[in-house]
Amino acid sequence: MNDTIATILKHRSIRRFSDQPLADSQLKEYIRAGQMASSSSFIQAVSVIRVSDSANRAKFAKLAGGQPYVESAPEFLVFCADLSRNRDRIRRDVAAEEPDFSWTEQFIAATVDVALFAQNVVVAAESDGLGCCYIGGIRNDPEQVTELLALPDLVYPVFGLCLGYPDQDPAAKPRLPIEAVFHQNAYPERGETDVVLDEYDAEVADYYQRRTNGKLNVTFTQQMAKQSASQTRKFMGEYIKKQGFNQH
Amino acid sequence: MNDTIATILKHRSIRRFSDQPLADSQLKEYIRAGQMASSSSFIQAVSVIRVSDSANRAKFAKLAGGQPYVESAPEFLVFCADLSRNRDRIRRDVAAEEPDFSWTEQFIAATVDVALFAQNVVVAAESDGLGCCYIGGIRNDPEQVTELLALPDLVYPVFGLCLGYPDQDPAAKPRLPIEAVFHQNAYPERGETDVVLDEYDAEVADYYQRRTNGKLNVTFTQQMAKQSASQTRKFMGEYIKKQGFNQH
């Protein structure tokens, strides 16, 4: 196995960082790595905002649900889906008619662009020994994020990312069995993967028991039931539409 | 610069492959790499379907807009956003009430999960000397894809991926200047990045002229205007809703 794959396979989220800062040149190398990811029809629908202002960092930590590492991590980046840049350029230089980025398709394409870009940043950073933690919690309050970062329409914050040198060494969480995820020629019949998923439920329960000295005993399915009941962020549809995406 | 970052920075889409097949163990290693990507609240909302059936490969090549490498590539994978697996398990084992995955938030989370996973697959494969090409064109006819792969509700195909050993060595396309993409503390004011974007337009026009011996002379902005006018896939919103996602 080569070093790149070894790096990817040992990924775990890091939530405690040393004080060692990143060099600007280093951070820019990771952003360049992000830019080299593929982009749907080459739209390059990504903007990254580095939040260095400490008052705003504190606000982000709070709105993300009280995640203190958002405030203290050496770097905190917000990854945005951005069709505004292209729209403005087309308006200025080309358009006979107003370009239309209001369809669900373009919402998907821009969102995918952001995630491909960010994952390159993460793998690049981890290959240099850094640790990362995605912060989906910024979607708790997208309106406030939009205000804090002065995001125009056709831009929305998809997730944040904490970045720095690790000051902890957590174990990787066990993933779904590959048989539950990887299929040949067709999606499996209902029930076909029950056995491996039952085994996985037991494995996850065991993982949490060991990690919490027996305090937490929860299967993957139980965890997902709780998660689905709590984290619907029902305001997201309206917010996304207000930003000009996903209108129809 | 380490090897992983060097691999990422030299990415370009590969559309012509040698006949050399991938070993099953090798492909599974890349899928494992995909699984190790972060997942929003650990929902692991990804299913990957390997299309080896040659009749279906031909159908995919056609529906993706006549991309012959979809038929001929050693491997063709379809990456799906999948909340069906978790929904079925919760229904069976836990739920007092039906789990609700119908919100835009969950549509975003599942879509992001798929892209993070796939980008790990791409980087892992490229680190072994393979080449890849994302096939967003499968969204030309998501209904047919759904039928061909027997996708249930709460599953949708986000993109395909061709995979194999390269039989070409294209140059990487120039990306946007980092100053247009990477910002500090706030989104730039309108017009702030005009100079670098003008330079980029000229650079892209030059790139296409060189690549086509002067036949194609188009700036990035002109390319985006054309793309936005042609590729709205207006049926996507209805299709996604029919699959149970993004209802409100």
Cα separation, A31 vs A163, in Å, equals: 12
Q: Is B58 on the interface with A (CB under 8 A)?
A: no
- Residues of chain B contacting residue A43, judged by C-beta atoms under 8 Å apart: 224, 227
Q: Is B151 on the interface with A (CB under 8 A)?
A: yes
DSSP chain A: --HHHHHHHT------B-SPPPPHHHHHHHHHHHHTS--GGG---EEEEE---HHHHHHHHHHTTS-HHHHHSSEEEEEEEE-HHHHHHHHHHT-SS-----SHHHHHHHHHHHHHHHHHHHHHHHHTT-EEEEEGGGGG-HHHHHHHTT--TTEEEEEEEEEE-BS--PPPPPPPPHHHHEEESSPPPTTTTHHHHHHHHHHHHHHHHHHTTTS----HHHHHHHHHHH---TTHHHHHHHTT----
pLDDT band at B44 (very low <50, low <70, confident <90, very high): very high
- Of A130, A31, A131, A91, which Cα lies nearest the Cα of B181? A31
The CATH architecture that domain A3-170 belongs to is: 3-Layer(aba) Sandwich (3.40)
Q: Can you give the pLDDT at residue A111?
A: 98
Q: Is the pLDDT of residue B91 over 90?
A: yes
> Closest to B109 (Cβ–Cβ): which among A108, A116, A136?
A136
- Residues of chain B contacting residue A228, judged by C-beta atoms under 8 Å apart: 86-87, 90, 99-101, 106
- Provide CATH 3.40.109.10 ranges for chain A: 3-170
Q: Can you give the pLDDT at residue B223?
A: 94
Q: Can you give the pLDDT at residue B97?
A: 75
- Residues of chain A contacting residue B227, judged by C-beta atoms under 8 Å apart: 41-43
Residue B35 CB coordination number (10 Å): 25
Tokens encoding B26? 């090798």
Q: Can you give the pLDDT at residue B230?
A: 83
Contact B246 A246 (CB under 8 A): yes
- Most B CBs within 10 A among A181, A194, A218, hence the mutation to make, goes to A181
- Of A178, A161, A146, A165, which Cα lies nearest the Cα of A242? A146
pLDDT band at B40 (very low <50, low <70, confident <90, very high): very high
Q: What ipTM was reported for this prediction?
A: 0.98
Q: Can you give the pLDDT at residue A245?
A: 98
Q: Is the pLDDT of residue B127 over 80?
A: yes
Cα separation, B75 vs B167, in Å, equals: 14
Q: Can you give the pLDDT at residue B243?
A: 98
Q: Can you give the pLDDT at residue B231?
A: 76
Q: Can you give the pLDDT at residue B98?
A: 83
DSSP B155-223: EEEEEEEEEE-BS--PPPPPPPPGGGTEEESSPPPTTTTHHHHHHHHHHHHHHHHHHTTTS----HHHH
Scanning B188-217 for CB atoms below 8 A from A yields 190, 193, 197, 201
- Most A CBs within 10 A among B108, B116, B133, hence the mutation to make, goes to B108
Contact A234 B103 (CB under 8 A): yes
Scanning A18-57 for CB atoms below 8 A from B yields 28-33, 35-38, 40-44, 46-53, 56
- Provide CATH 3.40.109.10 ranges for chain B: 3-171
For B187-222, the pLDDT digits (tens) are: 999 999 999 999 999 999 999 999 899 999 999 999
B248: nearest CA in chain A?
A: A237
Contact A185 B139 (CB under 8 A): no
Q: Can you give the pLDDT at residue B232?
A: 87
Q: Can you give the pLDDT at residue A119?
A: 98
Q: Can you give the pLDDT at residue A178?
A: 98
Q: Is the pLDDT of residue B229 over 90?
A: no
- Give me the residue label for tokens 């680190």: B127
Q: Is B89 on the interface with A (CB under 8 A)?
A: yes
The CATH architecture that domain B3-171 belongs to is: 3-Layer(aba) Sandwich (3.40)
Q: Is the pLDDT of residue B123 over 80?
A: yes
List the pLDDT tens digit at each of the 248 positions of chain A.
Answer: 999 999 999 999 999 999 999 999 999 999 999 999 999 999 999 999 999 999 999 999 999 999 999 999 999 999 999 999 999 999 999 867 789 999 999 999 999 999 999 999 999 999 999 999 999 999 999 999 999 999 999 999 999 999 999 999 998 899 999 999 999 999 999 999 999 999 999 999 999 999 899 999 999 999 999 988 887 899 999 999 999 999 99
- Min distance B201 CA to chain A CA atoms (Å): 10
